[in-house]
Structure 1
Amino acid sequence: MSYQRVLLKLSGEALMGNLGYGIDPAVVAEIAQEVADVVKSGVQVAIVVGGGNIFRGMKASAAGMDRATADYIGMIATVMNAMTLQDALERIGIANRLQTAISMQEVAEPYIRRRAIRHLEKGRVVIFGAGSGNPFFTTDTTAALRAAEIDAEIIFKATKVDGIYDADPKGNPDAHRYQSLTYNHVLTHELKVMDSTAIALCKENDIPILVFDLSVSGNIMRATKGETVGTIVGGNCEVI
């Protein structure tokens, strides 16, 4: 099946390419072009971006920083990434709006659900920054939350791997890549797809999740057309 409204979850690491830290403008430009191609095909696209390439709240918390403070810093990092992506889209003529869960009126709109949906209906890409606006929640959970709020048909989790495995494929050459999974299997076996809160939200709202390799050119477009890329997680899926 093909999709008309999707939510694309980008990790902060996806924006840094092969760099050890920060943002690779060339990689961001490539992602923007892929999104542009999808938008031009008539698909409505919303994006949630992480901030792990700049700052990781949980890592800082483990080192002694107050968890809430660390998470707020991480939220600000996601806005930096979101602004970079916004600029890349604008430079190739793709209309978009950046909405943040923390008020930053000089650089972005506040997150307003109805306004976000209206932007999508007008063919604009909507980029959600600053996570959910609350500490102790990941951007994966934000992706599940926003997808439910805007009635997205599916979440595309674009990563550096080509799907979900039963073990780390880098350390285990015999690791099995799943074609499809149920929410319960992911939760029960603690597979590292998204955090458990995000998976539970998707299960409750029946939002499928497609995990695929972002580095393969054209994968986002293929995913919107319902082609087999990566691993899909859903309530009606079989464990294969």
Structure 2
Amino acid sequence: MNIRWDEITEDSLSHIDKVFKLYDLVFPIVVREPHTIFFNGLHYARHRKLNNFRFLIGFEGEELISFATGHYLEEVNSGFIVYIATNPHARSKGRGSKTLIKMEELITEDAIAAGNSSLNAIILETETEDPVHTKEEKDNCKKRNDFFKRNGFKKSEGISYLQPPLHTKDKAVQLNLFIKNVQKNEQDIKKIIYAIYKEKYYLVNGIDKEVLNNCLIKMELGKKLI
């Protein structure tokens, strides 16, 4: 069965409860953002042109089988994929890869709309195989990393990346960055990280500027949020 693609926007929220149910099921609470952040992203998409926020959903018949969210970052002509998930009852048959490819197509459309011939890069965060994790957590992490590698992403070396705290009392979390260089150009990864911090974590999540600046300092990016 073919996947029927749709997008959630501020003006089209009819499927969002189904997505939140899948989101809460698939992602552990430590990496889940409040549902309000998704609404912030949708509002951002309407008012932050040429930057954009995409909220992709996929159906087979009436069943929600996948969703993905991501940002187009106009300043660096790059995409940042935040979440991608497949319904546990509908895994296999390449549905996750098809969702990832569709999201890349949408972000590429944003790049072209911004006046570019193509997209420079797509970047995403993934968990590290931290030694304190359980065997199951490590196995799941490896599966996710292998999935992104199969889809053309490579682990970025040389930057000890920190995801800023998603909740008020949390601490920053060290994560891996995986990047797909559509134009084979890796020298601007630090600029992409800065754009992610500004557009996603500051403007959408509303994380305190000093918290973000402290993370940028620890990563030795040499630049603070204004």
Report which of the two has the higher share of strand. 2
Q: TM-score, normalised by structure 2?
A: 0.36
Q: TM-score, normalised by structure 1?
A: 0.35
Relative contact order, higher structure (CA 8 A, sep 6+): 1
